[in-house]
Structure 1
């Protein structure tokens, strides 16, 4: 690895980690927020789902914007905006303002992630792109874990406001490093990318891509539902966990660092369809384990959820890009859009499910959303079932 390669990987890893640190920062402290703001379970869950909804709203905009403008001002604007939203969260005493600031953060997070991915795809040769994107994917995992640890473990849970300050400072520093350190591309690169872009509508009319998008939405629905309402499940009998004990459970998320490359190897050997079906099987078995009222059952279930989710996610996005000869940037933006809509919908729907039916209702709703990855796996395994793509 050359010095310039290492420098680029460091910038990508740091910036994406910082961006994802902001997304899930309130997840382990939802019961604390519920008590402090005298809000119900569904309302405090908006502190996570508002960010995800903001990402879903703006992701196509930033995907297109990165084809028209240089990446550097986009990243600097995004970093300052995300940090500003975090600082508002740290000082506000108004719950509505907290949710609005979280939505504002979500709006600008794609400026640090989606726009960066598009920039890398435009400027790097394929052999370098594969290596650098490995750092990108690892950073999403560690950033998601880091945000949860920051909110519920590194800072005392009752002092959650300091977690927002730390995340904001981290985001500002990494955005400035990226602004100064990312190589400048040429105007010709941007023009070529615009000419090779496939319209969003054309991509959405392809059933072989659309089923992959629904697969992404269904898998994150399950994952976000389980991990968002885990603190409520574990803070009550028969577990009675403290916030710090609950936060430790999020360490199972680390398995995602290894499952991406492993799922890719499994897909190469057994095919995308079989890999999706295997990942869906792990999701179903693990959801069943989460109904068992014991710590070993919960730990085993969470590990299985992570294995199943990251297997499905890696297999789906790999299959998507193998189906494309052009328009990769917009196709991946659509994938991410469906992905986050699934996460937002999962958190929202499962909040009402928990409120009216408890933890078992959350699990049963999640089981229903195994249908998209399962059906997609069957289609990928038996493509002759589809006689013509839409």
Structure 2
């Protein structure tokens, strides 16, 4: 086998390994959303309080992204991913035996830390190990795997809540996680991390190390185009993921869907999964700004379509909105990965930190509109967020055109 063929095999193994790992991450993250009724029953808490298992995980996940960026820039990409994946899989063992809700929250806090490793590192790993064209394709496939994992996690959680008790559900989660992590570990090629620095004779002090890390984050935050990409991605997820939460309440209240039936609305994520796969070639053909414009139209029209308030219109609206959302997310993700020429993991982790913090802030924000006018209020709040995204895209286009103008001598 020649060198080119060996490189292709290694590239495929890397892509498959990180995509399978992403299934583990997003199923473990979102499975609890479909299991909220079972959690409330098993731990004898209200349904509203049960949602804390999602909030605490998202919170520690968002903050831990920044930590993994620092760690992976210092010790490499491979080890943090492998160690955290195995720790995540094994963290399901104590979940089978707990009966106290506060203990559950503590374990979910820990899981949030472990869940952050792959999202923080994956895009930087691709950027360092793959050629640019292959990297764009890998990024699209990886995001499609994220979407698929989110769908399966929610549906699997709802199904297990209906069929199993708590212990059986956690055992199933443990077995699935261990099998997938083992496959991912086997496929993940042994690579020389590009972040390994030349060893200087002198040792850097902790203070100087931390200063270098802070400079890495500041480097990307000083970049106005990076800041706009962070804003666009964070506000888009702020709207989309929380629309899915409130539409479940609407479907159960108005159309009397059962709890498991309401989770079936997440099948509409499939349009985003498909769109993510094709986004790489669309970016190469049309560029990112036209795709941002198209995705805005899809999210705007999809959100308005749900106001017809029929089951068909709601499903069609979410198919359109999900497609637009994942195109936006893919564009932002690839933009950040390609634009970052140094401190790559820090650039990606800053984007994802804004992304998940957006999701955390979106719940309380749209809740205000839900209390005033229920689903119609949620759409009004979403329109305001779409206006912010629109302004961000306009500003990003202006910045890019300005950067392309020849500078005076």
CA distance in 2, matches of 1:245, 1:330: 40
1:112 is displaced (CA, Å) by 3.3
User: What SS does structure 1 have at the residue aligned with 2:308?
Assistant: coil
User: Hey, what does 2:22 align to over in structure 1?
Assistant: 16
Q: TM-score, normalized by length of structure 1?
A: 0.86
Q: Hey, what's the Cα distance between the residues in 2 that align with 1:96 and 1:352?
A: 27
2:279 aligned with 1:273: no
1:118 to 116, 124, 140: 124
- Give the corresponding residue for 1:290: 306
- Between stretches 340-349 and 196-205, larger displacement belongs to 196-205
Structure 1, 2-11 or 212-221: larger mean CA deviation: 2-11
Which of these residues, 256, 265, 270, is aligned with residue 249 of structure 1?
265
CA deviation after TM superposition for structure 1 residue 187, in Å: 6.6
Please, which moves more after superposition, 250-259 or 207-216?
Answer: 250-259
Against the structure 1 CA distance between its residues 291 and 127, is the aligned structure 2 distance closer, same or farther, given a 3 Å change threshold?
A: closer
| Alignment correspondent of 2:244 | 227
Aligned 1:50-199 pairs, distance under 5 A: 50-153=56-159, 156=162, 159=165, 162-186=168-192, 189-191=195-197, 199=216
Contact 2:161 2:169 in 1 (8 A): yes
Shift of 1:60: 1.1
Q: Which has the larger radius of gyration?
A: 2
The alignment of Structure 1 onto Structure 2 pairs a total of residues equal to: 386
C-alpha deviation, 1:97, in angstroms = 2.7
Match of 1:334 in 2: 350
Shift of 1:168: 2.8
Does the C-alpha gap of structure 1 residues 112 and 213 become closer, same or farther in structure 2, counting only changes over 3 Å? closer
Q: In 1, are the aligned partners of 2:228 and 2:396 still within 8 Å (CA)?
A: no
Q: Is the 8 A contact 2:369 2:377 kept in 1?
A: yes
Pair 1:168–1:104, CA change in 2 (3 A): same
| Displacement after TM superposition at 1:4 (Å) | 4.0
Deviations 1:75-115 (A, max 9, x none): 34312432344344444333333233222211111223323
- Given that 1:60 and 1:333 are in contact with CA atoms closer than 8 Å, whether structure 2 keeps it comes out as yes
Q: Tell me if the contact between 1:45 and 1:351 (Cα under 8 Å) persists in the aligned partners.
A: no
Following the alignment from structure 2 to structure 1, what is the Cα–Cα distance between the partners of residues 90 and 103?
13
Q: How far did 1:308 drift?
A: 1.6
Is the Cα contact below 8 Å between 1:225 and 1:366 reproduced in 2?
no
Residues 79 and 265 of structure 1, relative CA distance in 2, 3 Å threshold: closer
Structure 1 runs of 4+ aligned residues shifted over 6 Å read 194-198, 384-388
Distance 1:37 1:376 in 2: 43
Who is 1:316 aligned against?
A: 332
Offset of residue 256 of structure 1:
1.8
1:211 and 2:201 aligned = no
Q: Tell me how far 1:44 sits from its aligned partner.
A: 2.9
- Write the distance in 1 (CA, Å) between the matches of 2:288 and 2:82: 38
CA distance in 2, matches of 1:270, 1:6: 26
1:285 positional shift = 2.1
User: Matches of 1:7 and 1:387 in 2, distance apart?
Assistant: 37
1:241 Cα deviation from its structure 2 partner: 0.6
- 1:176 to 1:73, Cα distance in 2 relative to 1, 3 A: farther
| TM-score of the pair, normalised by structure 2 | 0.82
In structure 1, C-alpha distance between the alignment counterparts of 2:177 and 2:380, rounded to whole Å: 37
Q: For structure 1, which runs of at least 5 residues remain unmatched after alignment? A: none
User: Structure 1 residues 263, 38: closer, same or farther in 2, change over 3 A?
Assistant: same
Q: C-alpha deviations, 1:234-274, integer Å up to 9, x for none? A: 222x2111123222221111122221244444445554333
* In structure 2, C-alpha distance between the alignment counterparts of 1:297 and 1:160, rounded to whole Å: 35
CA RMSD of aligned residues (A): 3.2
- Bigger Cα displacement from structure 2, 328-337 vs 212-221: 328-337
- Contact 1:75–1:179 under 8 Å retained in 2: no
For 2:231 and 2:89, how far apart are their aligned partners in 1? Answer: 32
CA contact (8 A) 1:33 1:44 kept: yes
CA contact (8 A) 2:298 2:323 kept: yes
Q: Does 1:382 align with 2:388?
A: no
The answer to whether the 8 A contact 1:42-1:355 is kept is no
